[in-house]
Amino acid sequence: MPQKFTAGRLPLALATLGLFASTLATVPALAGECPADQVAAGAMAPGATAPDGVTDDVLASIDLSSRGGDWKGSALRFRKLVVQPGGVVPWHSHEARPANILILEGTITEYRSNCKVPIEHKAGEVTAEFGELAHWWKNNGSKPAVLYSADILPPMSKDDHAM
């Protein structure tokens, strides 16, 4: 179950948001994209199904249940993921979980269900994930890749560390 946002986490959350803002202000935020001629439904088969060499720390989480209606049971969370060289963020879907990912350090390769070729993401890029998208990520580089993720965790997700 998502943790509640507490005042004790506020300085860390604000510092992280400040880091987000300063990074975006100094580096162009143009995400790697699938080349137009490589886009196709079902283009990439599912990849790794378990995390490997990745830490996933929830920095802040806000229970959205107080908004009622469709928000009941949902959470807005902010995470830091560190993917070691050779590490994997496993195959997962964004059909019910929109996310924005900032690549802060390093590079990481994305293997998307709707792209015939891998997509390389570099430090400073932001990528939006939502809709009929499933994918997995692998750090094919020689240095850790540091990612920040802001996403809405749907009610059916019980695991606060769901990828």
* Range of the structural domain that residue 111 is part of: 7-153
| Structural domain count of the chain | 1
Low-confidence ranges of the chain (pLDDT < 50): 1-17, 19-30
Return the pLDDT at 31: 59
**Does 83 reside within a domain?**
yes
**Does 41 reside within a domain?**
yes
* DSSP symbol at 17: H
Kindly report the backbone phi and psi dihedral angles of residue 99, in degrees, each rounded to the nearest multiple of 5, phi listed first: -150, 150
Return the pLDDT at 162: 58
14-43 residues labelled b (16+ CB within 10 A) or e (exposed): eebeeebeebeeebeeebbebeeeeeeeee
Would you state the torsion angle of the CA atoms of residues 154, 155, 158, 163, taken in this order, to the nearest 10 degrees?
-10
**Does 160 reside within a domain?**
no
8 A C-beta contact, residue 100 and residue 127: yes
**CATH code at position 134:** 2.60.120.10
Read off the pLDDT of residues 112-124 as tens digits, 9 standing for 90 and up. 999 999 999 999 9
**Does 133 reside within a domain?**
yes
Read off the pLDDT of residues 86-102 as tens digits, 9 standing for 90 and up. 999 999 988 888 999 99
**Whether the predicted model's global pTM rises above the 0.95 cut:** no
**Does 77 reside within a domain?**
yes
8 A C-beta contact, residue 2 and residue 153: yes
**Does 51 reside within a domain?**
yes
**Does 58 reside within a domain?**
yes
8 A C-beta contact, residue 34 and residue 117: yes
Return the pLDDT at 56: 96
Query: E-assigned strands of 22-74?
Result: 52-63
Phi-psi region at 49: left, alpha or beta (left = phi > 0; alpha = psi -120 to 50): alpha
Return the pLDDT at 78: 97
**Does 43 reside within a domain?**
yes
103-112 residues labelled b (16+ CB within 10 A) or e (exposed): bbebbbbbbb
